[in-house]
Amino acid sequence: MANNKLISEVLQNSVAPTWDEARLEWHIENIYQVTEPQECACGHFPITELCEIKNSKNENVITVGNHCVQTFIGLNSNKLFNALKRIKGDDKSACNPDVIELAYKQNILTGWQRDFYIDTWRKRNLSDKQMTQRATINRKIILGISRIGE
Protein backbone atom coordinates (compact mmCIF):
# COMPACT_ATOMS: atom_id res chain seq x y z
CA MET A 1 0.00 0.00 0.00
CA ALA A 2 1.21 3.51 -0.76
CA ASN A 3 2.10 5.88 2.02
CA ASN A 4 -0.57 8.20 3.42
CA LYS A 5 0.88 11.37 1.87
CA LEU A 6 0.79 9.88 -1.64
CA ILE A 7 -2.71 8.45 -1.10
CA SER A 8 -3.94 11.83 0.07
CA GLU A 9 -2.36 13.66 -2.89
CA VAL A 10 -3.79 11.22 -5.43
CA LEU A 11 -7.25 11.19 -3.87
CA GLN A 12 -7.39 15.01 -3.66
CA ASN A 13 -6.67 15.15 -7.38
CA SER A 14 -8.95 12.29 -8.44
CA VAL A 15 -12.64 11.92 -9.14
CA ALA A 16 -12.93 8.47 -7.53
CA PRO A 17 -13.37 8.39 -3.75
CA THR A 18 -11.21 5.32 -3.00
CA TRP A 19 -7.52 4.58 -3.58
CA ASP A 20 -8.16 1.43 -5.65
CA GLU A 21 -10.49 3.31 -8.00
CA ALA A 22 -8.52 6.57 -8.05
CA ARG A 23 -5.20 5.05 -9.08
CA LEU A 24 -6.86 3.68 -12.24
CA GLU A 25 -7.63 7.24 -13.42
CA TRP A 26 -3.94 8.13 -13.89
CA HIS A 27 -1.51 7.78 -16.83
CA ILE A 28 2.03 8.97 -17.49
CA GLU A 29 2.03 12.34 -19.21
CA ASN A 30 5.74 13.22 -19.08
CA ILE A 31 8.98 11.81 -17.71
CA TYR A 32 12.24 13.57 -17.04
CA GLN A 33 15.45 13.44 -15.09
CA VAL A 34 16.78 16.35 -13.07
CA THR A 35 20.23 17.14 -11.74
CA GLU A 36 18.89 18.99 -8.70
CA PRO A 37 17.07 16.41 -6.54
CA GLN A 38 13.39 16.99 -5.90
CA GLU A 39 10.74 15.63 -3.57
CA CYS A 40 8.12 13.09 -4.58
CA ALA A 41 4.45 13.65 -3.78
CA CYS A 42 4.90 10.88 -1.18
CA GLY A 43 7.52 12.99 0.62
CA HIS A 44 10.58 10.94 -0.41
CA PHE A 45 13.70 12.98 -1.05
CA PRO A 46 15.96 12.95 -3.04
CA ILE A 47 14.58 11.80 -6.37
CA THR A 48 15.92 12.56 -9.83
CA GLU A 49 13.65 10.44 -12.07
CA LEU A 50 10.31 12.21 -12.18
CA CYS A 51 7.00 11.38 -13.80
CA GLU A 52 4.18 13.78 -14.39
CA ILE A 53 1.02 11.73 -14.13
CA LYS A 54 -2.27 13.06 -15.43
CA ASN A 55 -5.77 12.19 -14.35
CA SER A 56 -7.85 11.08 -17.33
CA LYS A 57 -11.12 12.20 -15.70
CA ASN A 58 -10.28 15.76 -14.58
CA GLU A 59 -6.90 16.57 -16.25
CA ASN A 60 -5.11 17.17 -12.90
CA VAL A 61 -1.34 16.61 -12.96
CA ILE A 62 0.92 15.44 -10.12
CA THR A 63 4.70 15.02 -10.16
CA VAL A 64 5.74 11.71 -8.64
CA GLY A 65 8.98 9.77 -8.45
CA ASN A 66 9.62 6.84 -10.78
CA HIS A 67 9.50 4.37 -7.86
CA CYS A 68 6.04 5.50 -6.67
CA VAL A 69 4.62 5.46 -10.18
CA GLN A 70 5.66 1.83 -10.60
CA THR A 71 5.11 0.49 -7.10
CA PHE A 72 1.91 2.18 -6.02
CA ILE A 73 0.14 3.46 -9.09
CA GLY A 74 1.20 0.48 -11.20
CA LEU A 75 2.42 2.31 -14.31
CA ASN A 76 5.58 0.99 -15.98
CA SER A 77 7.77 4.08 -16.08
CA ASN A 78 10.99 2.09 -15.62
CA LYS A 79 11.01 0.90 -19.24
CA LEU A 80 10.77 4.54 -20.35
CA PHE A 81 13.72 5.60 -18.20
CA ASN A 82 15.75 2.54 -19.25
CA ALA A 83 15.23 3.37 -22.93
CA LEU A 84 16.31 6.97 -22.32
CA LYS A 85 19.46 5.81 -20.51
CA ARG A 86 20.23 3.43 -23.37
CA ILE A 87 20.00 6.09 -26.09
CA LYS A 88 21.90 8.63 -23.97
CA GLY A 89 24.75 6.12 -23.79
CA ASP A 90 24.60 5.29 -27.50
CA ASP A 91 22.52 7.46 -29.80
CA LYS A 92 22.43 4.67 -32.39
CA SER A 93 20.72 2.27 -29.98
CA ALA A 94 17.05 1.55 -30.45
CA CYS A 95 14.54 3.30 -28.26
CA ASN A 96 11.16 1.69 -27.59
CA PRO A 97 7.69 2.51 -28.97
CA ASP A 98 6.48 3.84 -25.61
CA VAL A 99 9.16 6.55 -25.54
CA ILE A 100 8.55 7.31 -29.23
CA GLU A 101 4.82 7.78 -28.61
CA LEU A 102 5.50 9.92 -25.53
CA ALA A 103 7.91 12.11 -27.52
CA TYR A 104 5.36 12.42 -30.33
CA LYS A 105 2.59 13.32 -27.89
CA GLN A 106 4.84 16.03 -26.42
CA ASN A 107 5.50 17.42 -29.93
CA ILE A 108 9.19 16.52 -29.73
CA LEU A 109 8.86 14.34 -32.84
CA THR A 110 6.98 14.85 -36.07
CA GLY A 111 4.57 12.26 -37.40
CA TRP A 112 7.10 11.23 -40.03
CA GLN A 113 9.83 10.73 -37.40
CA ARG A 114 7.49 8.67 -35.22
CA ASP A 115 6.40 6.50 -38.17
CA PHE A 116 10.00 6.01 -39.35
CA TYR A 117 11.14 4.96 -35.89
CA ILE A 118 8.22 2.61 -35.27
CA ASP A 119 8.85 0.98 -38.68
CA THR A 120 12.57 0.45 -37.99
CA TRP A 121 12.98 0.12 -34.22
CA ARG A 122 13.30 -3.69 -34.21
CA LYS A 123 15.57 -3.88 -37.25
CA ARG A 124 19.13 -4.87 -36.45
CA ASN A 125 20.70 -4.05 -39.81
CA LEU A 126 19.88 -0.49 -40.77
CA SER A 127 21.41 1.28 -43.74
CA ASP A 128 23.85 4.09 -42.95
CA LYS A 129 21.16 6.60 -43.83
CA GLN A 130 18.62 4.92 -41.53
CA MET A 131 21.18 4.71 -38.71
CA THR A 132 21.98 8.41 -39.07
CA GLN A 133 18.26 9.20 -38.98
CA ARG A 134 17.78 7.06 -35.84
CA ALA A 135 20.68 8.82 -34.10
CA THR A 136 19.25 12.22 -35.06
CA ILE A 137 15.83 11.29 -33.67
CA ASN A 138 17.39 9.86 -30.49
CA ARG A 139 19.29 13.11 -29.87
CA LYS A 140 16.07 15.05 -30.46
CA ILE A 141 14.25 12.87 -27.90
CA ILE A 142 16.99 13.27 -25.31
CA LEU A 143 17.14 17.02 -25.79
CA GLY A 144 13.36 17.41 -25.81
CA ILE A 145 12.66 15.30 -22.76
CA SER A 146 15.48 16.89 -20.75
CA ARG A 147 13.94 20.31 -21.49
CA ILE A 148 10.63 19.25 -19.97
CA GLY A 149 12.20 18.96 -16.52
CA GLU A 150 13.85 22.38 -16.59
Beta strands in 45-131 (DSSP E): 47-55, 61-65
Q: What is the pLDDT of residue 150?
A: 45
Mean pLDDT of the chain: 89
Q: What is the pLDDT of residue 146?
A: 62
Q: What is the pLDDT of residue 108?
A: 93
Structural contact between residues 106 and 144, judged by C-beta atoms closer than 8 angstroms: yes
Q: What is the pLDDT of residue 15?
A: 97
Q: What is the pLDDT of residue 76?
A: 81
pLDDT < 70 positions in the chain: 1-2, 146-150
Q: Which contacts (CB < 8 Å, 24+ apart) does range 14-23 have?
A: 14/55, 14/57, 14/58, 14/60, 15/55, 15/57, 15/58, 16/57, 23/72, 23/73, 23/74
Q: What is the pLDDT of residue 100?
A: 95
Q: What is the pLDDT of residue 147?
A: 54
- This prediction has a pTM of 0.77
